[in-house]
Amino acid sequence: MMAARLGLLCLPRSVAAAVADARLAEDVGFSLVGVADSQSVFREMYVTMALCAQATRRVRIGPSVTNPITRHPAVAASGIATLDEIAPGRAFFGLGSGDSAILNLAERPSTLSDLRAYVEAVRALHTRGETTWRGRLARLTWAKRAIPIYLSAEGPRTLELAGEIADGVIVNVGLEPALVKDAVARVHAGARRAGRDPASVDLWTMVRANVTDDVAAGVDEIRMELASNAHHVFRFTLEGKQVPPALADAILKVQKGYQPAAHEALGASPNAALLDGEPALRAYLAQRFAAVGPASVVADKLRAVVDAGISGLLVTGFVHERQALIRALGERVLSRLA
């Protein structure tokens, strides 16, 4: 039986809050803190990560996730190497195709070939000190080691690419065991294709969580998170993502109405409102992506994820009483996953 690990995803709505959350997460047993990169709606990621690193001693810290569009690979490689100097051996580099960070700049998400090239460039800068990026020489003269690179993945092809080239994967397909097993199989297929040991790829999965005795209210509080899943996970195609056909139109409606400027905004946000008239979609998204309820119920759902093959649980939990949720997860849920 694999041991479960908890990670915390911070959206730095303020630097002080992110640092306090990281410190508390470490205190109650979390092993990883990820910081989102979305310059238009949150505080600057690298500054926030540096302060979180100084405030902690044990947790791993890194972008969850940055993107190839807004940061040149040499800038990103230098940034994460600097974090690793502040917190030796604790830095990781999380990368995705881009969401609110790029949509608020009217840019388009990266392609699979873009992601591959970016991973290769960052790794070369850390290991060789130079690379070619878009036909031009780029250098990083002082990096001490190759920082582990994690790729965020939802679709079948991205999951396989991640297994092929990344040190770890942040999976976002949902929490249902069948979906988890399928995602793990795709990551492992990519690893084997590249001649890698599948067991060497560190697996995490996104978890929308809320520990509460009032399940309906708990789901309602994180409905903007569920809207974010509908917007992001299914945005390129529904093919291979095991979505009930009857919900396809409702998902498309959420995607068309999603407002990047209000990404993951708390309370009665325009994105939360997208699910108000879609009870079937809300229920489906909650079942697929969220663990909501008393600590024992949340733990049972997360244990099934771990048993299906992913031991790293990267929790979002963007609720008003966030520190109470972090404490509940560490003290009342993680103990049940031991």
Query: Can you give the pLDDT at residue 53?
Result: 98
Give the whole-angstrom CA distance, residue 9 versus residue 33.
Answer: 6
DSSP element (H, E) containing 280: helix 279-289
- Amino acid identity of residue 4, one-letter, is A
Contact indicator for 150, 167 with CB cutoff of 8 Å = yes
The CATH number covering residue 264 comes to 3.20.20.30
Residues 276-311 as b/e (b if ≥16 CB within 10 A, e otherwise) read: eebeebbebbbebbbbbbbbebbbebbeebbebbbb
Contact indicator for 179, 288 with CB cutoff of 8 Å = yes
Residues 225-244 as b/e (b if ≥16 CB within 10 A, e otherwise) read: bbbbbbbbbbbeebeebebe
**Token reading at 172:** 């976002």
Query: Can you give the pLDDT at residue 69?
Result: 98
Query: Can you give the pLDDT at residue 292?
Result: 98
Question: How many domains would you assign to the chain?
Answer: 1
Residues of the domain holding 286: 5-337
Query: Can you give the pLDDT at residue 48?
Result: 98
Query: Can you give the pLDDT at residue 319?
Result: 97
Tens-digit pLDDT profile for the chain (338 aa)? 789 999 999 999 999 999 999 999 999 999 999 999 999 999 999 999 999 999 999 999 999 999 999 999 999 999 999 999 999 999 999 999 999 999 999 999 999 999 999 999 999 999 999 999 999 999 999 998 999 999 999 999 999 999 999 999 999 999 999 999 999 999 999 999 999 999 999 999 999 999 999 999 999 999 999 999 999 999 889 988 999 999 999 999 999 999 999 999 999 899 999 999 999 999 999 999 999 999 999 999 999 999 999 999 999 999 999 999 999 999 999 999 98
Query: Can you give the pLDDT at residue 338?
Result: 81
